[in-house]
Amino acid sequence: MNKKSIIIIISLLAVISMVPLSAAFTPHSGDTFSYQEDTDLGSGTGDYAGYTEHAIYSGTEAVTGISSDGTVSAHYSYSYSWRNSSGSTETGNPSGDFTFSSKNFLYISGTDDQTGYVNPTVWFAADNSIPVEGTFTLLDTQMTIISRNYSYYLSSQNKYVSTIFAQGSSNYQRNDIYGQFNAAYTWKVYFDFSTGYIVGYTYEEHDTSPSAGFKYTENLYVTSTSYPLTTAAAGQTPSPTIIFVSPSPRPSTIPQFGPIFNLLPVFALVLVIVIVVAVLYAVSQGSKKTLPRHSYERPYQQPPPPPENIDLTPKQPQVQQIVIREVVKVKCRYCGALIDSTAQTCPLCGAPRT
């Protein structure tokens, strides 16, 4: 490699290193968020006509420790209040501990009260470095990144925050206390751009059967977080604020540098593209070399001549000729039986033929 090539490579690496990149999900001990979730069942038909349900959940998820292999220890707790149009009510306060992997987001030991899933991933966090149109899994639903600059209205804080917007749709066969239904749903989820933790989601499911049907919805949003959320302008898709994550705890505030600072990543990317194009053009105008020779070459060999006296006529076995001789029959003068003309006596009566 000549000196010119080394200088070009070093220049490219230096410029590329100036472009800030989103760090992947990196949990910290002490990360905590609280949330509220409202669920409703309604729009019933058939057996469910006029029937409704409503529930309110208030919960907290907290990271309590992280091991060297990326296993995250966490604690969950929530309270709920449920009622239906028939007058039934129910309340509860579940809580417990569980672990999950910060690398593949799978639950390892226990869950935060998630039932009915096989080998699910957590619902409250995702890899925040996944690009637009990239996919990942929440619980057992495949999600696709729709936008990395979505302005989400957080009602609990009365402001818009910058989020990563993902969506997934699927269907399943419901068979539980509600009955047997064909269930189809769409799940829209919004994650904090800086940390990867959830900010909110909406879930809508339609259940149908020959005799009944209903609509089920969930709406969840965080009410408080131990980490700051990036403020966004209403009705816009903001450029995310870049945070350089360090092993120390997250700062309580994030400095806001205005729209010029938010455009710096775009300027840096454009600069990289310009430099790459310039380098490619310079290389194409430099010393041109022919394609390298193959690592080995086999000498040309004259193909062998075709065999002589080729007979393409299909061969068949010789047919053996069989001659069948017929013998004339005559009547016996005494008994009238047919006998060979060569016989001397009749085989039936014994009289001479002549």
Cα separation, 182 vs 95, whole angstroms = 32
Share of the chain above pLDDT 70, in %: 66
Residue 105 lies in a domain: yes
Q: What is the mean pLDDT of residues 8-26?
A: 53
pLDDT tens sequence across 230-239: 999 886 544 4
Residue 106 lies in a domain: yes
Residue 47 lies in a domain: yes
pLDDT confidence bin for 335, thresholds 50/70/90 = confident
Q: What is the mean pLDDT of residues 77-93?
A: 97
Domain containing residue 336: 328-354
Question: Domain boundary at 209, 226, 248, which?
Answer: 248
Cβ contact 196:122 at 8 Å: no
Name the residue with higher pLDDT: 327 or 95: 95
Whether residues 339 and 228 share a domain: the answer is no
Enclosing H/E stretch for 213:
strand 212-225
Residue 262 lies in a domain: no
Whether residues 205 and 354 share a domain: the answer is no
Within 10 angstroms of residue 99's Cβ, the number of other Cβ atoms is: 18
Cα separation, 125 vs 31, whole angstroms = 12
- Which pLDDT belongs to residue 16? 44
Whether residues 206 and 342 share a domain: the answer is no
Whether residues 239 and 350 share a domain: the answer is no
Q: What is the mean pLDDT of residues 327-344?
A: 72
Residue 267 lies in a domain: no
- Which pLDDT belongs to residue 180? 95
Question: Domain boundary at 200, 232, 248, which?
Answer: 248
Residue 184 corresponds to which amino acid?
A: A
Question: Domain boundary at 205, 226, 248, which?
Answer: 248
CATH of the domain at 61: 2.30.230
Whether residues 228 and 354 share a domain: the answer is no
pLDDT tens sequence across 137-195: 999 999 999 999 999 999 999 999 999 999 999 999 999 999 999 999 999 999 999 99
Q: What are phi and psi of 9, to 5 degrees?
A: -65, -45
- Which pLDDT belongs to residue 24? 85
Whether residues 142 and 240 share a domain: the answer is yes
Whether residues 207 and 342 share a domain: the answer is no
pLDDT confidence bin for 305, thresholds 50/70/90 = low
- Which pLDDT belongs to residue 113? 94
pLDDT tens sequence across 239-276: 443 333 322 232 222 222 233 333 444 455 656 565 55
Residue 186 lies in a domain: yes
Residue 276 lies in a domain: no
- Which pLDDT belongs to residue 325? 54
Q: How many structural domains is the chain composed of?
A: 2
Whether residues 337 and 238 share a domain: the answer is no
Residue 21 lies in a domain: no
